Amino acid sequence: LGVVAIVGLLAAACGGDDDDDASSGGEEAATFEQPDQGVFTDRVDIGVIYDQTGATASTQTVFFAGIESYINRVNEEGGVNGRQINLLQEDEKYDVPTALAAYNKLVNQTPTLAIMGLNNSSFQGAVIEDVASDEIPIVGAESTTKAALNPFNPWFFALQCTYTDQADVAVAYLINKTGIENPSAVALYGDVASGQEWSGLIEERIDAAGGEFLGGISITYGSTEADAQAQEIANLDPDMIFLHGGVSIGVPALTSLEKFGVTDTPIAGIFALESATVAEASEAVGANFSAINCYSAGNQPDVPGAEQMIADAEANGVEPEVYNATDFANGYVSAMVLVEGIRLAGNELTRESLAAALETIEDFDTGGLSPNVTFGPDDRIGVASVRPYEFDYAEGIFVPVGNYEDYEDCITNEYLTESIDDWDPTCANEVASS
Amino acid sequence: MTEFLQLVISGLAVGCIYGLVALGFVLVYKATELFNFAHGDLMMVGAFLIVTTVVTMGLPMWLSAVLVIAAAALMGIVIQFVLVRPMLGQPLLAVVMVTIGLSLIIRAAMLIAYGPIERSFPSPIPRRTYIWGGVRVSLSDLIIIGLTVLCLLLFALFFKRSRLGLEMRATAEHFEASVLSGINANKVFTIALALGTILAALGGMFLANLGVVNLGLGEIGLLAFPAIVIGGLQSIHGAVIGGLIVGVVEKLGAGYLGNDVKYVVVYAVLLLVLLVRPYGLFGEREIVRV
């Protein structure tokens, strides 16, 4: 508690930046109440649905730890507009029916102002129409699927880069890295909705580049090895591999690829694979492994916001292996944006006023933990840039390859435009030359 | 043909782990008729304990393995005295519910103790792969297969040659007759639980060597159930052969039909075996007087 208090006092004394502003209204008492939306004069209830005990608990609990660390500091400093933020957690066990029950509970039974989470892409797809009809803001999920954005859903505020953004950059980056203009490729993916989607997105881009997509191969979450998949890839002998999943997919994938001699083929993985555990599973394969992400970990260089994030994490008893994961930064930034929205909504806080306030957020500085966040009347993709990272085995950290701006030309926004006609396979070439 | 052989070898390696876990399960079932749904979770505990001793405490692998085996034996003894012994003679459903409760308690305890974060295990086995006739076999696979065979030989010798093994077989064969002939049934039950838990922990240690350790490892223990049913619920060697069949069928299914259907193939084989031999490939047909 002492550490929390000292950190809180230091943060209050420093003042000035966006996240400190977020809690500046703490001393003014709120007068407005809307209990059927989780809003009281002294507190506001926020639901968080995430996997606490299922197959993806290792990443989703890290996401929650980021949310909790930021919210605890805000509450220590007096809350937002006189209200404390009360997090109501629901364990979805990586099970869609369980997650749907948790969602209904947070909308109707113990109503909350907003919900964070919806991380499981299969659950996200199943619940997204309800979100629109229930008119409850969703602020930050660990994945952003097409179903969440198209057709336009004014209640879903995405704070994770979309799979199309990641695919845009992943394919262009490996084409640039290998110098192969018409590559052959396979997608290796976790057996969930977003995995199949990833495979389809890669196929589109490889076709657009004039290459040959050799197929999508799935891995079951929780597998101890991926020998059959690695054997198939070794037989196909692709120029590049595009990997989907988290640590529990990445480790067996890299280990089995090494076993089958697939060590020279470049691999690009989605955001959740940016983990030292994955890279260290096989240095032989990891040397050619890149992760595409829109969040920076606490231990990466030149991230101004990392110092405060780590202080909040340590005040919350979070260990370095947790706060140095990008999932933690994802949760932390999601909480920053939520708090900013609540602050902007003012005293008369409702689901509607929160959504209206979030919509006005523009160029919100997250201290380099992510690209600046912007929403708009027709824009619900708050984090719209990505970049590749590669693992530095000497330092034991992932380091970014270039800046977010370097890859902006690659982004097609396919979820909205439903076209990649504008995608240029050579869009990442200038990064290499610079 | 090379692809087929490759899938078979991969299946044998993972099947050995299923077989070890299934062997521990059958051992306990034969001695106590306890259908232990927490067996997979005990395997997960073994994996976490080896990570703790090697990574956190920095102990050498051999010493860590000895400590984990000792801890597993102790766990088995505690489970026998706290949970199994008071339930002896109770209806089967009540005993099953106790083991499901034990499973939940173990998972919760491990979640509290270790958190949900995956842990990587720096396997002491070098990353070496041998290629024979185009078939790739890793050193870790060979060691896992070798250690499993060694375990089987030791257990076979134990059951056939030792007095304690004979007592265990006698108790499993006919509980009342064994007690009347002077066998200490409580001692037999305790040793069976200890040995069963040791085998589960060994399976966990082997799984840890494959890469990442997490709370989900307990789910893999569920694959021991089809192995047990295929092999025969009361057959020691049937459990191991069942494990190998499950491992090989899983890999062939994933390789030829796709990852999505690999477990469907395993359970299809299970159904086929049950249709032809309802008591499993090596199980004993029970004749019940009606």
Quickly count: other Cβ atoms within 10 Å of residue A372's Cβ: 18
Nearest to A228 among B10, B215, B217 (CB): B10
The answer to whether residues A224 and A252 touch, using CB atoms and an 8 Å cutoff, is: yes
A23 touching B (Cβ < 8 Å): no
**pLDDT tens digits, residue range A292-322?**
999 999 888 889 999 999 999 999 999 888 8
Helix (H, G, I), strand (E, B) or coil at A120: coil
Show Cβ contacts of residue A192 under 8 Å, excluding neighbours closer than 6 positions: A120, A121, A122, A221
Helix (H, G, I), strand (E, B) or coil at A305: coil
Kindly determine whether residue B259 and residue A55, on different chains, have CB atoms separated by under 8 Å: no
pLDDT at A167 over 60: yes
Q: Which two tokens stand for residue B147?
A: 């250690």
Q: Which two tokens stand for residue B56?
A: 């956190």
* Mean per-residue pLDDT over chain A, rounded: 89
Nearest to B8 by CA among B121, B119, B117, B137: B137
State residue A2's pLDDT score.
46
Chain position carrying tokens 């040995």: B195
Nearest to A115 by CA among A98, A133, A135, A129: A135
> Any idea what the Cα angle at residue A134 is, between residues A132 and A136, rounded to 5°?
80
| Chain A residues touching B217 at Cβ < 8 A | 222, 224
Instruction: Find the helix packing angle between A2-14 and A57-76, rounded to 10°.
Output: 70
What ipTM goes with this model? 0.76
pLDDT at A14 over 50: no
Q: Give this prediction's pTM.
A: 0.81
Show Cβ contacts of residue B80 under 8 Å, excluding neighbours closer than 6 positions: B189, B190, B193, B194
State residue A432's pLDDT score.
54
Nearest to A191 among B215, B251, B259 (CB): B259
State residue B194's pLDDT score.
93
pLDDT at A78 over 90: yes
pLDDT range class, residue A343, cuts 50, 70, 90: very high
State residue A184's pLDDT score.
97
**pLDDT tens digits, residue range A377-392?**
999 999 989 999 999 9
Q: How far is CA B28 from CA B5, B76, B100, B222, B245, in A?
A: 34, 10, 16, 16, 21
3-state percent helix, strand, coil for chain B, nearest multiple of 5: 75, 5, 20
> Any idea what the Cα angle at residue A403 is, between residues A399 and A404, rounded to 5°?
115
* Across B83-101, average pLDDT: 85
**pLDDT tens digits, residue range A91-136?**
998 889 999 999 999 999 999 999 999 888 889 989 999 999 999 9
The answer to whether residues A62 and B117 touch, using CB atoms and an 8 Å cutoff, is: yes
A397-400 and A387-392 as β-strands: parallel, antiparallel, unpaired? antiparallel
The size of the A-B interface in CB pairs under 8 A is 99
A43-50 and A114-117 as β-strands: parallel, antiparallel, unpaired? parallel
Nearest to A351 by CA among A342, A360, A340: A342
B211 touching A (Cβ < 8 Å): yes
A263 touching B (Cβ < 8 Å): no
A34 touching B (Cβ < 8 Å): no
B219 touching A (Cβ < 8 Å): yes
Q: Compute the nearest-CA separation of B134 from chain A (Å).
A: 11
Nearest to A222 among B115, B119, B220 (CB): B220
Show Cβ contacts of residue A307 under 8 Å, excluding neighbours closer than 6 positions: none
pLDDT range class, residue B290, cuts 50, 70, 90: low
